[in-house]
Amino acid sequence: MSSAQAAGDRALGEYLSSECTACHQTSGRHDGGIPAIVGVPADQFIALMNSYRDKQRENQVMRTIAGRLSQEEVEALASYYGSLKPAP
């Protein structure tokens, strides 16, 4: 477990995940241009979300979502999604 994953509140991440699952598959499968986030290592998840927040990535929806989340919430989501295993 990475330090970022250990630092995040997994229960909070699960609570916050409902907004994510509106677009991202909970199965962990890639679906039509929307990447899977299930099983993404916490440090990578955090880096991706921060890159949206810092406008280094182009997707406006993700920029908006990342911009609304606190760092604590990003870490919680990272902990939650990093703990999940993609469906076979």
Does the pLDDT value for residue 3 go beyond 70? no
CA 26 remoteness from chain centre: 11
pLDDT-based confidence at 5, cuts 50/70/90?
Answer: very low
Domain ranges of the chain: 3-83
Annotation: CATH topology of 3-83: Cytochrome Bc1 Complex; Chain D, domain 2 (1.10.760)
**C-beta separation of 54 from 46 below 8 A:** no
- The predicted model scores a pTM of 0.86
Mean pLDDT score of the chain: 89
